[in-house]
Chain A
């Protein structure tokens, strides 16, 4: 048993951690060497009980297919899940995720990946007409909840999560990330404080194209969880980071909020600040707080959030976790510590500390300028 699901008796899981992100706005690809070097500078922020990476642009040959990364505790679990996948998806390709056993990571679940798309005549069509994304979300929830010994840890298109129990630099070697290329990378070094380390509990957490790495603890977990359960999200892992991923999926994909607005739901301005806004803005922010009060994240956090259009780095509203950003040409870097950025980019054009609750957003576009965490203009 490799602890791919949270069987521990803990209401939630909180941790201190280190994080990094690298994005090239023009989609120039780099291999995993840079992100590995950056996160390894933050080695001492973790304790070897969780390391992981998300990469975007790594499956160009299968860009239209959902890339499922699944961990299995045992082979019968694999057979059961594959039965489900065969009934519901066209499987274009499946293979073991390439790994390299090192002296550090030698003990791991069975890791397999599938490039798939939902069948147009799948059985659930008898009951409802779900879009492909919704069906994939339902399938991820179903497998993670009902298939013992199996856990889907990545399900997006042309992106993938690579994670496990170990220090991130060792996890990078284990998954041979230096042989993988992508235009956006995020990384996480975990220091779990309330539960032992387990494979599924490493960051990033992903759903479809969303990926989150997170340093901090969400004290509003209980409220957020109950809110998400109303929308049929299954919070199998009982960790606060999973909650952030699903809130963003709900707000951005389901409720179609622009990314910027969704972020102001997570780290909403305080009412005393809203009171000082112009009438239009005041009305908007008051409405967001009223409608999405249960999606507000309380507690200290720094997150790096990847999605198909770009990357966001953001702090809680009073900056209780570290976050530094830097830009060099088309590259933008974010990290818990400036030294992590300097390890791969010794002389950036600018280095800055994002303000509390004000996101750094970099989207893939031709003339992209990283937004310097200024006041959100709507």
Chain B
């Protein structure tokens, strides 16, 4: 275990200390006074590595990460989990824009809200199944061009407000689960809305419980309500953009 005081430290130095620590066999990191340092946990490996972050981590938190767990105790900035491959990022506050861009594995759990372009171009392949669960609400361009994986939008706070635009436009793979029914005709022509069935709920439950356990919140309220499921209507929504069918 190691505690690093990141006050005034440049991201290069902070990330060097983390990488060298992992190489030396340290498995638990406590980062204090983080404020805006970019690239924390980028590309690091090690399923048993846990990095606890106090303060506001900078952009690209956990980009390309491949196994470890990052716990952000406050808000985070943009591009969390960019192209992340494996591991887990827990965010106890709000997340900025472009969460999980091109993400291809691992989990991002957000207790608060997330910004614009969550899960844009997220993808899955065989056993690789990226998962994003958002407790609050999201901005526009949610799941744009989504190609695989799972995104769950719980809408726990401000649950009446769902005013993002360009919802799931160009989505052609993966599944979105919503805890709130929305007037879907307003949002996207590329996807279809269903009520989640028992199979869906059984599948979802283990992730929801993992989510609530991670944040120490009650799972009953969350799993009680029926969920809605959004899937793409086509694997190639733009196949005939320029040609006739």
Contacts and interface: CB of A to CB of B under 8 A. Distances in A.
Interface in A297-340: 318-319, 322, 324, 337-340
A339 B116 contact: no
A324 B140 CA distance: 16
B116 A337 contact: no
Contact of B77 (A318, A319, A338, A355): A338
Interface string B47-63: 00000000110110000
Nearest to A351: B75
A319 B139 contact: yes
B115 A337 contact: no
Contacts of A340: 36
Given A319-B97, A322-B96, A351-B75, A339 B140 contact: no
A319 B56 CA distance: 21
A337 B36 CA distance: 8
B78 interface: yes
Contacts of A41: 35-36
A331 to B, nearest CB: 18
Interface in B110-154: 115-116, 139-141
Most chain B CB neighbours (cut-off 10 Å) among A337, A338, A342: A338
Assign chain B's interface to a size class. Answer: 10 to 19
Assign chain A's interface to a size class. Answer: 10 to 19
A343 B35 contact: yes
A337 B140 contact: no
Interface in A323-375: 324, 337-340, 342-343, 351, 353, 355-356
A170 interface: no
Contacts of B97: 319, 322, 353
A209 interface: no
Contacts of A324: 96
Interface residues of B, dominant DSSP: loop
A181 interface: no
A275 interface: no
B75 A338 contact: yes
Contacts of B116: 318-319, 356
A339 B96 contact: no
Contacts of B78: 322, 337
Contact of B139 (A337, A339, A342, A353): A353
B140 A356 contact: yes
A338 B75 CA distance: 8
Interface in B14-53: 35-36, 38
A41 B8 CA distance: 9
A44 interface: yes
Contacts of A342: 35-36, 55-56
B116 to A, nearest CB: 5
A42 interface: yes
B12 to A, nearest CB: 10
A318 B59 CA distance: 20
A353 B113 CA distance: 10
B35 A353 contact: no
A47 to B, nearest CB: 15
A353 B141 contact: no
B36 A42 contact: yes
Contacts of B59: 337
A224 to B, nearest CB: 25
B115 A338 contact: no
A343 B133 CA distance: 29
Contact of A337 (B11, B55, B58, B141): B58
Given A322-B96, A339-B77, A342-B56, A355 B36 contact: no
A32 B69 CA distance: 39
Contacts of B55: 342
A42 B139 CA distance: 24
Nearest to A42: B36
B182 to A, nearest CB: 16
A221 B228 CA distance: 44
Contacts of A356: 116, 139-140
B139 A338 contact: no
Nearest to B98: A322
A337 B77 contact: yes
B141 A338 contact: no
A106 B58 CA distance: 31
A318 B142 CA distance: 12
Interface in A40-74: 41-42, 44
A318 B75 contact: no
A339 B141 contact: no
B38 A353 contact: no
Contact of B115 (A339, A351, A353): A353
Q: Which 7 A-B pairs have the closest CB atoms?
A: A339-B36, A339-B56, A41-B36, A339-B35, A319-B116, A338-B56, A353-B115
20 contacts: A41-B36, A318-B140, A319-B115, A322-B96, A324-B96, A337-B58, A337-B59, A337-B77, A338-B96, A339-B35, A339-B36, A339-B56, A340-B36, A342-B55, A342-B56, A343-B35, A343-B36, A351-B75, A356-B116, A356-B140
Given A322-B96, A338-B77, A355-B139, 4 more contacts: A319-B97, A342-B55, A351-B94, A353-B115
